[in-house]
Structure 1
């Protein structure tokens, strides 16, 4: 018998964890001589107080939606994919190759090709650790972490020696043709008469990411494959007894996960600077782990956590500009959020379970 209602598990536990994380962050801000109330006001106004701020908040949110979804799909099969960072880097390579070497007549054809290429490259990068787990018994956590470093080294070499224009010193590709620029929220919302900042980089990939969340929900809860993935995640032995192939589920779940992580690069490469640069992923692969944990690995549940981390990223940038608080302070806040929603989840969950159990007994 469950001791805590579903709504408390989904809403109350993460909310209390967030309050504790922000309270500790306020103490750290006080310790460095800044006002935590003013810091929060600056973060809120900088990320949510204008369409300019919303443009950046939703841009980061798009990245975290796709990497969080990638982690969630793998985790439904109890596969902890830590390699989203590397898979997104390699996905960016697919985007760059499609945009640089194929002439496109318009942006939407290029976007479709970029999504397919980034998904293919990301899936290929995830396939190797998946095969090693399924066939050789290598732990998926270790192999995906190591493949992040391999991807970073590979991209460093390619951007410095292969794809860099001869007239440039930056480790980056040439800029894409202007016709490949993705429509931004200013362009899309302007069609219905809503005024939005031209400067915000949020673009049509936000709607693509939300559509992927819906499709992932349909896959997991409305298809036979989704049932097999979830059954395997609940009990590998029971799934094997039911005739579900462990090799198939490991490979399929990781291929889908890698494809989603790779697709993130369409937003950060084609939708952002319009060229492939070093560190285009900006840690989104690792933030996706926290997003998936907070969203309970549910394709719809990750939307709110992705928006939260988008707020933290943009708010942190404004905070670093307006105060003496370093940008790294946001990394501390993110770490606290991850710690309390992940590693210390039971510290909040257990007292709540005891409280609801006591209330039930009294009733």
Structure 2
């Protein structure tokens, strides 16, 4: 029995690894077909990230919201829920953090910065709580309600900026320095990248997910409800309350991801006519990371590295940057086709025993 369990665990771990390899190989084949050098393309990505401090800093900077969005998706999934509303929760968290920083710009940094970060997490929590309430009280499926909440967030934040916090350039004013996560030290260290102290918040969030779900009684209860709501209810657990809590906590992580963009990367928020894509990429990050804290960190690093390195791939190898999105899509496709990979490994192992 233990041998079977070990085999299953190894197979589970192999799926994302094989998916990444297959995605990169398919990307290389596409490059060859359209006349580009895949070796030079991938070499330029690796060299830029690991040998050029600017691109290394930008990669870590891009990881921050991806990790937080991935944690938001993974947290909900681990409790039996599928949060498609991370994008909307991220947007309202972004707006709330920037609005708080601007409205209370007279406060000192020691108060304003934590308050602005908290505002972002609280806004995300509210945007997650609403679908949780609908699911718990009225049996509205969270996939439908969270998708709809994305559009409400997109247009609500645009309306609020345009009517209350508007400045030239279709955006809010720049936040005060007292609310900024930007760092001259980190910028100098990475030769002018936009790396900011938000990576500390992301690391704390990863630890919080791990500790909260696997080291606390409430985390066990949340996972139990997700695994079997009927059995949990029979055991005396409040299923409705736990559903609301799960999506609320998931929304906090997503809202913090938006706050990191508003207080760290951009220092303001634009009037968005389309989604940022970070929340949707968070779904892919969580899937590739097997909905585990460490897996989310590693998959977030991969996605951020591909996106950042794509710029040097275009300049040095001449490969269109859009091809990076194709490679990412292929990796996600292979992760989603994990059962095919399992079947192929099963066939190969049976042949090996003959």
Global fold match (TM > 0.5): yes
Structure-2 separation of matches of 1:304 and 1:104: 39
Structure-2 separation of matches of 1:148 and 1:61: 22
C-alpha contact (below 8 Å) 1:63/1:268 kept by paired residues:
yes
CA gap of 1:108–1:357, structure 2 versus 1, over 3 A, is farther
Structure-2 separation of matches of 1:355 and 1:79: 35
- Is 1:114 aligned with 2:116? yes
Which of these residues, 305, 312, 320, is aligned with residue 318 of structure 1? 312
- Is 1:93 aligned with 2:106? no
C-alpha contact (below 8 Å) 1:4/1:353 kept by paired residues:
no
Tell me the secondary structure at the aligned position of residue 174 of structure 1.
coil
Tell me the secondary structure at the aligned position of residue 297 of structure 1.
coil
Query: Where does residue 75 of structure 1 map in the other structure?
Result: 77
Which of these residues, 231, 247, 253, is aligned with residue 224 of structure 2? 231
C-alpha contact (below 8 Å) 1:89/1:151 kept by paired residues:
yes
Tell me the secondary structure at the aligned position of residue 5 of structure 1.
helix
Tell me the secondary structure at the aligned position of residue 237 of structure 1.
helix
For residues 222-301 of structure 1, what are the structure 2 equivalents within 5 Å? 222-279=215-272, 282-301=276-295
Query: Where does residue 187 of structure 1 map in the other structure?
Result: 185
Cα shift readout 1:90-122 (whole Å, capped 9, x = no counterpart): 001111111101025544432211221011101
C-alpha contact (below 8 Å) 1:4/1:357 kept by paired residues:
no
Structure 1: segments with no counterpart, 5+ residues:
none
Give 1:278 deviation, angstroms.
Answer: 3.8
Query: Where does residue 326 of structure 2 map in the other structure?
Result: 332
Structure 2: segments with no counterpart, 5+ residues:
none
Superposed CA RMSD: 2.3
Give 1:13 deviation, angstroms.
Answer: 1.9
Structure-1 separation of matches of 2:13 and 2:207: 20
Structure-2 separation of matches of 1:301 and 1:6: 17
Query: Where does residue 210 of structure 1 map in the other structure?
Result: 203
Structure-1 separation of matches of 2:207 and 2:109: 24
Tell me the secondary structure at the aligned position of residue 295 of structure 2.
coil
Give 1:10 deviation, angstroms.
Answer: 5.1
Cα shift readout 1:54-89 (whole Å, capped 9, x = no counterpart): 110001111111011101110011100011001000
Which structure shows the higher helix fraction? 2
Query: Where does residue 197 of structure 1 map in the other structure?
Result: 190
Cα shift readout 1:238-283 (whole Å, capped 9, x = no counterpart): 1111111221111000000001100012221110121112459731
Query: Where does residue 52 of structure 2 map in the other structure?
Result: 50
Which of these residues, 193, 214, 238, is aligned with residue 221 of structure 1? 214
- TM-score, normalising length: structure 1: 0.89
Cα shift readout 1:299-329 (whole Å, capped 9, x = no counterpart): 2321111111110110123333445433322
- Is 1:172 aligned with 2:171? yes
Structure-1 separation of matches of 2:140 and 2:350: 41
C-alpha contact (below 8 Å) 1:88/1:281 kept by paired residues:
no
Structure-2 separation of matches of 1:335 and 1:290: 9
Structure-2 separation of matches of 1:150 and 1:255: 17
Query: Where does residue 160 of structure 2 map in the other structure?
Result: 158
CA gap of 1:155–1:317, structure 2 versus 1, over 3 A, is farther
Give 1:354 deviation, angstroms.
Answer: 5.5
C-alpha contact (below 8 Å) 1:4/1:356 kept by paired residues:
no
